[in-house]
Amino acid sequence: MIYPKLLRSRPPEQTHSDKPAMIRRIVAVSALLTGIAGCATVHPQAGFNHVGSLVKSRLGETVIWNNGSKAAGQITQRTRALLKEPLTVDAAVEIALLNNQSLQADYEKLGVSEADLVSAGLLSNPVLSFQMRFPARPYHAVNASIDQTFLDLLLLPARKHMAQANFRSAQAAVTNDVLTLAAKVRRQYYRYQAALELAAMQQHIVQVAAAGADAARHLRQAGNTSELAYDLPLDFYETSKLKAAAAHAAALESHEKLGSLMGLWGQSLDYRIPATLPPMPLGDLTQADIESLAVKNSLALAAQRQKMLALKQQLNMAHVGWLFPGASFGLAYVRDPDVKSTLGPEFSIPLPIFNQGQPAVARAAAEYMAAAHRYKAMAVNLRAMVREDWIRLTAARQQANFYAKVLLPLRHRIVTEQRSAFYGMYVSVFTWLAARHAEIRAQEHYVQSLRQYWVARQRLREDLGGRLPAIGPASSRPHTASMVKGK
């Protein structure tokens, strides 16, 4: 859209009958320009639909922008349905994507960016000026003009390209926020599961310690043991109760953190999840696969790349803008009672004497180069991060496999042998209980290794842009003392 400039319609002397006609002409021109401009409409939902399709392809989840009562009703209904049953990790992610208010606030960024995009495609409004001097009988001195800058028209394509790049950057950034939240929910979900399992183990240790303290008390009452032999099991029992209370508190804290990420409050916080961690899959990605996948799928890099393109357009605008700062053009109409009315072009070009645009160009160039260096730094850091997460994943897998295949079976055999020896009166009850305690501690370390594996796996999934290729069926888990129900 082009706004011609009608500049300086200023008859030095007008009769009273001429003035209304001149005003009507100016109003008519203003109405014409308004009609040419048309009405610009912002449709932020279009940008959100693109985000939704990306999330669907990366996570397999549907996102809803809560921008009205209808959407709010859908979110409430779906959330209640998911909370009726123990939450799976996928259900927890779905609830978070529906209810997390920080994520809903991020969606509003799309509206801001869409508004900027629409605004970039519009010329600035022309300025209507009107002056009248009194007294001036029998004529009134009237000056009127409609101004539009030349630079505004010249830079319109570059402004639109820059706004489009910023809009695509906002879409990638918001989608990355969605994937980041999903990864946080998954990590916290597995932390909470591990906390429940470890709390159950600590409670089992309390039961073992209580049995030892009770046996020591009976022996002490019978006079068959010393005060020290009685105090040591009692100390272990009291200490185990303290650790069990701390483990229970840690589980409650994990529960609240997961609820906060899911955007839950009030009665909805009475959700439940399975109390044991899932087994590890049989295989994982190789290190050769992950770096290229991370760079290819990273939405944070995609957002930064679009910022670079926007700053490149800004640099181009700075190169052009200094040539015609404040320049304007249009048509001038002059009516004079003493001479014939005239119509012709008129230009206004400021002289670049004091400011020739070098600061603006230098600033735009520096911002573009900084964005380019930042993009390269992000790529390098992403590659390093994904390698570190793969190392953590591999180490946790090896440690968990060692406990599952070596140490746990060994500790179980020792407990079985000690129980047989106790029944044969070859060892004391304290020796048997100590072996049982060592077995539970090994199970506790196994669960901690399993938690580290699943947390590292979700970090790696986040590094890879929310995508993890299928890697086969899950392995089996050894029996642990925490196979109990409850929150």
Alpha helices per DSSP H over 262-357: 287-297, 299-321
Q: What is the pLDDT of residues 127-160, one digit of tens each?
A: 666 555 555 555 544 555 555 665 666 677 777 8
Task: Say what the pLDDT of residue 1 is.
Answer: 36
Among residues 160, 179, 181, 173, the alpha carbon closest in space to that of 303 is found at 173
Task: Say what the pLDDT of residue 138 is.
Answer: 52
Residue indicated by tokens 């609830």: 95
222/230 Cα distance (integer angstroms)? 12
**What distances in angstroms separate CA 221 from CA 213, 215, 218, 429, one per listed residue?**
12, 10, 5, 16
13-22 burial, b if ≥16 CB within 10 A, otherwise e?
ebeeebeeeb
Token pair belonging to 446? 């196994």
Task: Say what the pLDDT of residue 44 is.
Answer: 62
Q: What is the mean pLDDT of residues 165-176?
A: 86
What is the H or E stretch that residue 331 is in?
strand 328-334
pLDDT reading at 399 higher than 70: yes
DSSP 119-163: HHTSPPPPEEEEEEESS-TT-BEEEEEEE-BHHHHHTHHHHHHHH
Residues with Cβ within 8 Å of 219's Cβ and at least 6 positions away in sequence, in order, are 225, 229, 230
Q: What is the pLDDT of residues 236-282, one digit of tens each?
A: 888 889 999 999 999 999 999 999 999 998 888 899 999 999 988 88
Task: Say what the pLDDT of residue 145 is.
Answer: 59
pLDDT reading at 166 higher than 90: no
354/60 Cα distance (integer angstroms)? 58
Q: In sequence order, what are the beta bridge partners of 333? A: 343
Q: Give the confidence band of 485 by pLDDT, cuts at 50, 70, 90.
A: very low
Most confident of 138-152, 216-230, 444-458: 444-458
Residue indicated by tokens 């390093």: 384
Q: What is the pLDDT of residues 278-312, one digit of tens each?
A: 988 887 777 777 887 888 888 888 888 888 888 88
As a whole number of Å, the end-to-end CA separation of the chain is: 64
Do residues 458 and 392 touch, judged by C-beta distance below 8 A? no
**What distances in angstroms separate CA 80 from CA 63, 71, 86, 95, 254, one per listed residue?**
16, 14, 12, 9, 21
Q: In sequence order, what are the beta bridge partners of 329? A: 347
Q: What is the pLDDT of residues 201-217, one digit of tens each?
A: 899 889 888 888 888 78
Residues with Cβ within 8 Å of 83's Cβ and at least 6 positions away in sequence, in order, are 95, 268, 271
More confident residue, 129 or 25: 129
Task: Say what the pLDDT of residue 282 is.
Answer: 81
Q: In sequence order, what are the beta bridge partners of 348? A: 328
pLDDT reading at 184 higher than 70: yes
Most confident of 19-33, 83-97, 297-311, 425-439: 83-97
pLDDT reading at 486 higher than 80: no
pLDDT > 70 in the chain, percent: 72
Tell me the torsion sign for CA atoms 424, 429, 430, 436.
positive
More confident residue, 449 or 320: 449
Q: What is the mean pLDDT of residues 30-40?
A: 50
Q: What share of the chain is helix, strand, coil (3-state, %, to 5)?
A: 65, 5, 25
96/361 Cα distance (integer angstroms)? 45
325/312 Cα distance (integer angstroms)? 20
Q: What is the mean pLDDT of residues 396-424?
A: 87
pLDDT reading at 337 higher than 60: no
**What distances in angstroms separate CA 357 from CA 68, 148, 352, 361, 368, one per listed residue?**
47, 21, 8, 6, 17
Burial class (CB in 10 A: 0-12, 13-18, 19+), 194: buried
Q: Give the confidence band of 121 by pLDDT, cuts at 50, 70, 90.
A: confident
Tell me the torsion sign for CA atoms 441, 447, 450, 451.
negative
More confident residue, 195 or 429: 195
277/192 Cα distance (integer angstroms)? 9
Residues with Cβ within 8 Å of 50's Cβ and at least 6 positions away in sequence, in order, are 171
Q: What is the mean pLDDT of residues 451-478?
A: 78
pLDDT reading at 162 higher than 90: no
Among residues 267, 208, 269, the alpha carbon closest in space to that of 239 is found at 208
DSSP 464: T
300/174 Cα distance (integer angstroms)? 9
191/205 Cα distance (integer angstroms)? 21
More confident residue, 183 or 142: 183
Task: Say what the pLDDT of residue 137 is.
Answer: 55
Do residues 103 and 32 touch, judged by C-beta distance below 8 A? no
Q: What is the mean pLDDT of residues 391-396?
A: 91
Q: What is the pLDDT of residues 321-330, one digit of tens each?
A: 655 556 665 5
Q: What angle do CA 38, 329, 336 make, to 5 degrees?
A: 105
Q: Which range is least confidently modeled, 6-15, 219-228, 335-344, 352-361?
A: 6-15
Which domains, and CATH codes, for the chain? Answer: 40-122+155-322+357-463 (1.20.1600.10)
More confident residue, 44 or 478: 478
Alpha helices per DSSP H over 403-428: 408-423
